[in-house]
Chains A and B, each alone.
Chain A
Amino acid sequence: MAATIPLELEAATKRYEGANRAVTALDGVDFRVGSGEFVCLFGPSGSGKSTLLNVLGLLDSLTDGTLWLEGKDVTALSVEERTEVRREYLGFIFQDYHLVPTLTAVENVELPTVFDGRGERERAEELLDRVGLGDRRGHKPPELSGGQCQRVAIARSLINRPSVLLADEPTGNLDRDTGTVILDEFQRITEEGVSVVVVTHDQLVSDYADRRFDLVDGDLG
């Protein structure tokens, strides 16, 4: 049996209908990520990287084209179904971490699981241990460095056992050494079969990635 492809995009087009003119952010993009693959996406500012990532993460919908997730067509799902799919298959890492400042590190990691009564506190602690923050569990984001915050965010993105991890500029706010730590972490994650898609300006990322794409004007070329 052929392994299903975690994430596949076919002839994807995304147009933003502006007030006076439409912007085509993605223009017929075909894109696919294999299981446990580390893919990075380069491109100049405004080329559509974030748009592509949002589409892959079911945060935004396509104007045209098809998105498959684990072999299922997820192009036209309802809002609730999208939420469900995100929870089940996807992990997100944001440039600004988006941690809740009033919650401790471990509470932040646990957060995605607490509302449906799962409350995976132990797993949250394990994940923090894994990203090297076992001794920072009780600290709140303002008491942590940028790199530590991003590692908390990585731990959080893994709490739901995703099959694909999507990261937008995960090292954008970090110095080179800290960025290296984060990228090492991504590599370890892929070894467990999780696919990682990283959108970045940071050339360092391509040293770690299995494949590299360049997006120019909404086109992967």
Chain B
Amino acid sequence: MGVLPAHRLPVVRIAVRNLGRNRLRTGLAALGIVIGVMAIATLGILGTVLQLSATSAFGGVGTQVVVTPGGSGGAGDGSSLDSLSAVTGGGDTEGFSPRDVQRIRRIGEKHGTVVPMVTAAGTVSRGQSEQIGVLAGTDNPQALFSASDGRIPRNHRQGALVGHDLAENLGLRVGSTVEIDGNSYRVLALLEEGSQFLPIATGNALVLPEGEFTEPYSQIIVRTESQEQAAAVAGELRSAFDGRGNRITVVELSSLLDQIREYFGLLNAVLLAIGSISLVVAGVSIVNVMLMSTSERSEELGMLRAVGVGRTTVMRMVVAEALLLGVLGGLAGAMLSLLAGVGLSVVTPVSLELVLHPRNVAFLLLAFCFGVGTSLLSGLYPAWKTANRRPVEALNG
């Protein structure tokens, strides 16, 4: 048996009771909010997962400027993906002149670390097995690569660093020996399966000391701390080499990355807008339900006004009902989208960590708040309308 407490939130207690009067209607109204909140939260989570997977795939690309010798036509904008393929191919034989290397170094070192590199394709062998790999020569591999096994030397004087795929195919481990053009190298480290695809695809790479090559540098990579610095380096390089007959190509992906980010931001906004539409629909249904239930209870509410219960109290009662609908529906919706996210991580390669990313938690909260907010707004008009009816009218139904 319910007891009406004297001092403990009678308005809320009465609201709970009223919602219990017509459970089916209450359930349906809350269902609207459940769906709306779910739509917002789930779509938001999906957007975040897409965006984060995409940007992590591009990794540190945004803080890196790659300079290659020779022009590729539109060297001016430099951020197009056409020039990207020229770089990853890495087969340019021309090379930089020592003076150009000096000039690039001077500009690059103002903003970050400059790593000149020689690249070439070559056959890597171990015993009987052979494999074509991308050979890279640099004295400063630490600036570009990280190791999944072994250690990358600070000053690369001997030994090889081997990419993941290459190592797997040849059965290489740290301490193994590989042969290239008749020379043997000890494997110092295995390269981490890099998310970055610049300057070279790390999977098939074999990094040697610079001194092992006789060719001139074929790429110069400038690593910076921030995207802004990368953009600055690219700009200065372009203007320094402007009018010198297209001697270099500058590839800098920070602006592309910005575009990708912008694109995903837009995608997320669209997804949220779609979700919000369903909440608006839910809001309309709550307005409808509250109008229905207040007009059904018109006489009761009129009686309350007659016995001296104020307008604001009546308003609070109705708003509390709508709010409760929102809280119930919002909680259920948030729980369901959380479940959907966890389900996503079970059936797809998306990691649970990504699903539970703080931004997604924020989305859940946001969706919940939207649901509650919608209900609150939807309750205001019916509440105001009911509370302001003249008691005589209300009493006559």
Contact = CB atoms under 8 A, between A and B. Distances in A.
A87 interface: yes
B316 to A, nearest CB: 9
Among the interface residues B10, B308, B309, which one has the most CB atoms of the partner chain A within 10 A? B308
Interface residues of A, number: 36
Contact of A59 (B6, B306, B311): B306
Given A83-B308, A112-B307, A115-B309, A98 B395 contact: yes
Interface stretch (B13-21, B91-99, B187-195, B235-243): B13-21
Interface string B163-188: 00000000000000000000000000
Contacts of B313: 115
B311 A80 contact: yes
Nearest to A118: B6
Contact of A114 (B10, B310, B390): B10
Contacts of B299: 96, 98
Contacts, number: 82
Interface stretch (A5-13, A100-108, A193-201): A100-108
B5 A83 contact: no
B392 A94 contact: no
Nearest to B16: A102
B7 A117 contact: yes
A67 B395 CA distance: 22
Interface in A59-90: 59-60, 79-80, 83-84, 86-88, 90
A92 B306 contact: yes
B305 A83 contact: yes
Contact of A102 (B21, B303, B304): B21
Q: For the complex, would chain B's binding face be called helix, strand, loop or mixed by DSSP majority?
A: helix
A100 B17 CA distance: 11
B7 A59 contact: no
A117 B309 CA distance: 12
A119 B1 contact: no
A54 interface: yes
Interface residues of B, number: 30
Contacts of A49: none
Given A115-B313, A117-B6, A117-B7, A86 B18 contact: no
A173 to B, nearest CB: 15
Contacts of B6: 110, 114, 117-121
Nearest to B18: A102
Nearest to B305: A83
A87 B308 contact: yes
Nearest to B303: A98
Contacts of B302: 98
B312 to A, nearest CB: 9
Contact of A119 (B7, B311, B395): B7
A111 interface: yes
A163 interface: no
Interface of A: 54, 57, 59-60, 79-80, 83-84, 86-88, 90-92, 94, 96, 98, 100, 102-104, 107, 110-112, 114-115, 117-121, 138, 156-157, 160
28 contacts: A59-B306, A59-B392, A60-B392, A83-B305, A83-B308, A86-B306, A86-B308, A87-B309, A91-B307, A92-B306, A98-B299, A98-B300, A98-B302, A102-B18, A103-B2, A103-B4, A107-B2, A107-B4, A110-B6, A111-B304, A112-B308, A114-B6, A114-B10, A115-B313, A119-B7, A138-B1, A156-B307, A157-B307
Q: Give 7 nearest A-B pairs by CB, closest first.
A: A119-B6, A87-B308, A98-B303, A112-B307, A114-B10, A107-B4, A59-B391
